[in-house]
Amino acid sequence: MFLYGGDYNPEQWKEEKEILGEDLRLMDEAHVNTVTLGVFAWSELEPREGEYDFSFFDETIDRLFQSGKKVILATPSGARPHWMADKYPEVLRTQENGLSLRFGGRHNHCYTSPVYREKVRAIDEQLARRYANHPAVIAWHISNEFSGECYCALCRDAFRRYLRSRYGSIGALNRAYWSKFWSHTYDDFSQIDPPGASGENSVPALVLDWRRFVTYQTVDFMKEEIAAVRKYATHLPVTTNMMPGYYGLDYQKFAEHLDIISWDNYPGWNAPEHLHEAAFSAFWHDFFRSLKGKAYYLMESAPGWVNWKQVNKLQRPGVNRMAALQAVAHGSESVLYFQWRASRGGTEKFHGAIVGHGGTSDTRVFREVSATGSALETLGEISGSQTAPARVAILFDWENMWALEGTRAFMQNKDYRAAVLSCYEALWQQAVACDIVHPHADLSRYSLVIAVWQYMTDKKTEENLTSYVERGGTLVAAGFLGMADENDLCHLGGFPGGTLKEVFGICNEETDALFPEERVALTWNGERYEAGGYCELLHLKGAQALGWYDSEFYAGMPCVTVHGYGRGRAYYQAFGVGGKFQKDFLGYLLAQCRIPFCLPDAQTLPDGVTAHRRIGEDAAYLFVENYSAQAQEVALPDGCVDLESKKSTRRLTVEPFDVRVFRCRR
């Protein structure tokens, strides 16, 4: 069965004795079977240093168990008690400008501080000893949305140690940093400070290493927490809740330490860019599934609205079910919300919840949540199945994003995530299964690999992409390919650097950046299109031109190319991604590579309609999703039976914001 429920903070209601019983009753009414407990409960669990009080949690977990609920138990390190910050100020964060923060907020802690690590380890071990074998507890939720960075002396020293082990000698670091530029040569590791506005901000490789270090240190902190909860029991899976595309942490480095990936999804449903947000949400579902290539948890989502966007729109009727089934379509084994009951005070008191301040089930949101829970029970046989294997992959690379976005060149505003997403969106509109993987990943199972703005190519990326094409893969690269190595040193001898030059058979000599409203005309496949963003001026070095610029001084130069290399082919797109060209071009490549679509008319679906498949032991499941506010007509493959209505049909009308789920042949 699917896990259904969400964040639960009963400690806020401890004095209101009747609430716990009321919650359990309402949870049954909402078809809730799982809660995430204890995310911010540290001051409740350890009210004074070393004095633990588990009485309330004992009772709560027992009663949850008695009423058939599962518990995902959190470690409370996302926010610390006041006494700790007062006694050990080092646990708090220091800002880049040197200001040490006072107690307040959450996530305000130093991941290096030995005291903080010791205090976290102690409470985690207490929790593990007490609850790891409780029959209600099914998983550990490590901390909460790891994020942020600290510039205290402890972190600075740890950064220096990190650099020393990365480079070995200061000479090697100087070469990697090209530090003769502006006379920045270091004499010793002790001179190195974290980069920042008030200090060093002109050594790109230093900035890159700092970001690597922040990920390294956060992962290290997480590993200590994992070791602590595993001390008393090794059977419980561990997860931590991540955020869609959080810039500051390279999530791909977290995956190997976790048993289950989980993430928090708050797209702007019903905002003016609603359909784009649906694709955004789909992209991150695919990203998080791809981290371990298997089922994951949707750990948080909004049951109705949030309180932190510029405009906090209500989710329209049906959107609750639609968002839940989108998660399941992409391979989630859970639909969990933030939050069960709205808090009475605090900064999130007006954040949507399943139970609002009225305290009843007689609300629109509660009814929708309950109907979704009931639908997930009906669809229970899908739980445990896998998503259909993807034959297309899009590359995603944090270090590349940090390097390219930080590079002072082309346009200052280079949004890597948006660029990758616009390619993804073109696939999403054509109902094609897609993985999102790191450029070092094993690419052999994919027929088509898409490299968007892969500016940074280290040796491993270069070799991996080269051998992928050599062995018969189709690789398409769009923009800025192979310009720098892992230290953001430019590749010499022409772009793309190294063997990629031979793979693509092109040389990219210059890049013309366009002002936002500027367009350059081009022709591809006999049709006229417009390029925006930037135009790269390519020379053919063996490749064949498929498209040409039609305006500007570079009219007549190639802008879409293909080159046979080994047993495969490498395509290049020299101008900004997105729009009609992207859909047409990727559609053409999907057909070239004979990629299977999830629906018969996949390449001409109405706006906002897409589909996904999961494969079970003896059946496949087809999800037909309509994110638009209009009813849409879709043709189905033969032999599909609607799992809820039990009807079978060839032409389907999908209601606005609805997802229909079919059992069909494998």
Q: Which does 110 bind (CB under 5 to 8 A by kind): ligand GLA, Zn ion, none?
A: Zn ion
How many Cα neighbours within 13 Å face the side chain of 201?
A: 8
Minimum Å distance from CB 126 to ligand GLA? 22
Please state the separation of Cα 508 from the chain's center in Å: 31
Scan residues 73-102 and list those touching Zn ion (CB under 5 A): none
**Of 2 and 263, CB closest to ligand GLA:** 263
**Of 154 and 299, CB closest to ligand GLA:** 299
Of 99-107, 110-118, 269-277, 332-340, the segment contacting Zn ion by CB under 5 A is: 110-118
Amino acid at residue number 51: E
Which residue from 108, 104, 106, 85 is spatially nearest to 95, judged by alpha carbons?
108
Minimum Å distance from CB 110 to Zn ion? 3
Q: Which does 264 bind (CB under 5 to 8 A by kind): Zn ion, ligand GLA, none?
A: ligand GLA
Minimum Å distance from CB 322 to ligand GLA? 19
Scan residues 225-264 and list those touching ligand GLA (CB under 6 A): 264
Q: Which does 128 bind (CB under 5 to 8 A by kind): ligand GLA, Zn ion, none?
A: none
- Residue of 144, 290, 454, 464 that binds ligand GLA (CB under 6 A): 144
Minimum Å distance from CB 351 to ligand GLA? 5
Q: Which does 152 bind (CB under 5 to 8 A by kind): ligand GLA, Zn ion, none?
A: Zn ion
**Of 92 and 506, CB closest to Zn ion:** 92
Which residue from 574, 569, 491 is spatially nearest to 532, judged by alpha carbons?
574
**Of 110 and 448, CB closest to Zn ion:** 110
What SS3 state is found at 11?
helix
**Of 150 and 622, CB closest to Zn ion:** 150
* CA dist., res. 510 & res. 410, Å (int): 10
What residue is closest to ligand GLA based on CB?
A: 264
Of 4-12, 105-113, 472-480, 570-578, the segment contacting Zn ion by CB under 5 A is: 105-113
Q: Give the residue numbers marked as catalytic.
A: 145, 300
- Residue of 34, 60, 112, 218 that binds Zn ion (CB under 5 A): 112
* CA dist., res. 459 & res. 415, Å (int): 24
Sequence-ordered list of residues with C-beta below 8 angstroms from that of 665, at least 6 positions apart, any chain: 619, 620, 638, 639
* CA dist., res. 295 & res. 139, Å (int): 14
Classify residue 556 by burial, with Cβ atoms within 10 Å: 0-12, 13-18, 19+. exposed
**Of 306 and 421, CB closest to ligand GLA:** 306
Minimum Å distance from CB 115 to Zn ion? 11
Q: Which does 351 bind (CB under 5 to 8 A by kind): Zn ion, ligand GLA, none?
A: ligand GLA
Contact 144, 78 (CB under 8 A): yes
Q: Which does 155 bind (CB under 5 to 8 A by kind): Zn ion, ligand GLA, none?
A: Zn ion
Please state the separation of Cα 5 from the chain's center in Å: 21
Q: What's the DSSP call for residue 341?
A: B
Q: Which does 144 bind (CB under 5 to 8 A by kind): ligand GLA, Zn ion, none?
A: ligand GLA
Q: Which does 150 bind (CB under 5 to 8 A by kind): Zn ion, ligand GLA, none?
A: Zn ion
**Of 60 and 217, CB closest to Zn ion:** 217
Task: Read off φ and ψ for residue 642, nearest 5 degrees.
Answer: -65, 120
Q: Which does 306 bind (CB under 5 to 8 A by kind): Zn ion, ligand GLA, none?
A: ligand GLA
* CA dist., res. 459 & res. 425, Å (int): 30
* CA dist., res. 229 & res. 208, Å (int): 32
**Of 301 and 573, CB closest to ligand GLA:** 301
Q: How many chain residues are in contact with Zn ion, going by CB under 5 A?
A: 6
> Is 110 a residue that touches Zn ion (CB under 5 A)?
yes
Residue ranges in 457-499 assigned as alpha helix (H): 459-470
Q: CA quadruple 536, 542, 545, 548: dihedral positive or negative? A: positive
Sequence-ordered list of residues with C-beta below 8 angstroms from that of 494, at least 6 positions apart, any chain: 501, 507, 508, 509
**Of 117 and 612, CB closest to Zn ion:** 117
Scan residues 48-87 and list those touching ligand GLA (CB under 6 A): none
143-175 exposure pattern, b = at least 16 Cβ within 10 A, e = fewer? bbbbbbbbbbebbbebbbebbeeebeebeebbe
- CA distances to 56, 72, 211, 232 from 131, rounded to whole Å, are 13, 11, 36, 9
Q: List beta partners, residue 569.
A: 474, 564
Q: Which does 435 bind (CB under 5 to 8 A by kind): ligand GLA, Zn ion, none?
A: none
**Of 53 and 118, CB closest to Zn ion:** 118
Q: Which does 432 bind (CB under 5 to 8 A by kind): ligand GLA, Zn ion, none?
A: none
**Of 344 and 445, CB closest to ligand GLA:** 344
Site string for Zn ion, 122-161 (x = CB under 5 A): ----------------------------x-x-xx------
> Is 145 a residue that touches ligand GLA (CB under 6 A)?
yes
Q: How many chain residues are in contact with ligand GLA, going by CB under 6 A?
A: 9
Q: Which two tokens stand for residue 388?
A: 């259909």
- CA distances to 215, 249, 404 from 253, rounded to whole Å, are 8, 9, 19
- Residue of 351, 417, 613, 614 that binds ligand GLA (CB under 6 A): 351
Question: Which run of H or E residues covers position 344?
Answer: none
> Is 141 a residue that touches ligand GLA (CB under 6 A)?
no
Contact 267, 161 (CB under 8 A): no
Amino acid at residue number 547: G
Mark residue 291 as left, alpha or beta (left: phi above 0; alpha: psi -120 to 50; beta: remaining).
alpha
Please state the separation of Cα 146 from the chain's center in Å: 13
* Ranges assigned E (strand) in 480-631: 506-513, 520-524, 527-531, 534-540, 544-549, 558-565, 568-573, 609-615, 620-626
Minimum Å distance from CB 301 to ligand GLA? 9
Q: Which does 450 bind (CB under 5 to 8 A by kind): Zn ion, ligand GLA, none?
A: none
**Of 298 and 376, CB closest to ligand GLA:** 298
What SS3 state is found at 495?
strand
Scan residues 275-304 and list those touching ligand GLA (CB under 6 A): 300
Minimum Å distance from CB 393 to ligand GLA? 28
Please state the separation of Cα 586 from the chain's center in Å: 23
Minimum Å distance from CB 142 to ligand GLA? 13
* Ranges assigned E (strand) in 240-361: 241-242, 262-265, 296-301, 332-337
> Is 306 a residue that touches ligand GLA (CB under 6 A)?
yes
Contacting residues toward Zn ion, per CB under 5 A:
110, 112, 150, 152, 154-155
Contacting residues toward ligand GLA, per CB under 6 A:
144-145, 264, 266, 300, 306, 338, 348, 351
